[in-house]
Amino acid sequence: MKAPSFAGSFLTADSSMLQSAVVRVAGQMSQQVSDSLAIEEPLEIQLTYGPSNSRQTRSISVTMRTPGNDFDLAAGFLMTEGVIQDANDVEQIVYAGGSFDEGTPPPQAMEVLKLGSRLNTVRVDLAAEVAVNVGSLQRNFYTTSSCGICGKASLLALRTVCPPRATNNFRVDAQTLYSLPSRLRASQGVFDRTGGLHGAGLFDSTGNLLALREDVGRHNAVDKLIGSEFRADRTPLRDRLLLLSGRASFELLQKALMGGIPMVAAVGAPSSLAVQVAKEFDITLVGFLREDHFNIYHGSERIDRYSSTSIGVIE
């Protein structure tokens, strides 16, 4: 059967989704239907910094993301990478791009993408007095899980940039934990229609969902979430739980650490280095969270109302 044509694809009123014709096959039968796709487009983050008489603008990152909450994404990225520490460090955040379909050629690396939005470049202007370490603006350093730097070096690098740590007093009931995935899922409107987005949610100790962000990239969802709190001057988030709809990687634990978050719960598995970060910086870490079970990788003493047994445990 001929593959469906995407020529008839069109944007919905929600800029994070695209409607497209697909052929749905069930058993021996098929039909052409309309399907919702999560939009993925590049976002270039630029930084303007330096004294008022010598301002510089530098492109520091290009990330593939779902359009929406772009200013939160940029602020969260800079905050979790240790470039900025306070909401007052930011003078303004603006869209700085032109439309690629009006004669402006796209970056060479992006030529294969059909970019029509003028909202794919965000510029963050820092206050003149904010000191910037140009070396720290490179995206491809220790933070990515594929960078090849050993765990010990990664943890040491984190210690040099993370904000001061407070005693972790955040506690949560096991029954509350069981309820969190369904509460997050019920609020993921775009996921319901596309099935293609990661979600990150902030909860209080009683299980109230306080904020939610979605994106095709799990790190982008977390940056958007923490960035929205940062811009509202609510960081560090010492009385909040971060719930991830997927796995927990080193990079996501790093972002939680930079945001001051005391507990991370993930529907998926944590990586070995994520567990190391949790132990090193005393972040309660839960993985494989479902409606009736979960694993605790660190901080079990801060989860209440469950029975403990050591059967089958290897010391």
Give one DSSP letter per residue of the chain, joined into a string: -PPPP-TT-EE-SSTTEEEEEEEEEETTEEEEEEEEEE--EEEEEEEEES-TTS-EEEEEEEEEE-SS-HHHHHHHHHHHTTS--SGGGEEEEEE----GGGTPPPPGGGTTS----S-SEEEEEEPTT----GGGG-SSSTTSTTS---HHHHHHHHHHHSPPP------EEHHHHHHHHHHHHHT-HHHHHHS--EEEEEE-TT--EEEEEEESSHHHHHHHHHHHHHHTT--S-TT-EEEESS-B-HHHHHHHHHTT--EEEESSPBPHHHHHHHHHTT-EEEES--SS--EEEE-GGGEES-----TT---
Respond yes or no: is residue 147 known to be catalytic: yes
Would strands 56-65 and 29-38 be described as parallel, antiparallel, or unpaired?
unpaired
User: Quick one: residue 146, left, alpha or beta (phi over 0 = left, psi -120 to 50 = alpha)?
Assistant: alpha
Q: Find residue 61's DSSP bridge partners.
A: 45
Catalytic residue among 147, 209, 210, 269: 147
Whether omega for the bond prior to residue 236 falls within 30 degrees of 0, making it cis, is yes
Active site residues: 147
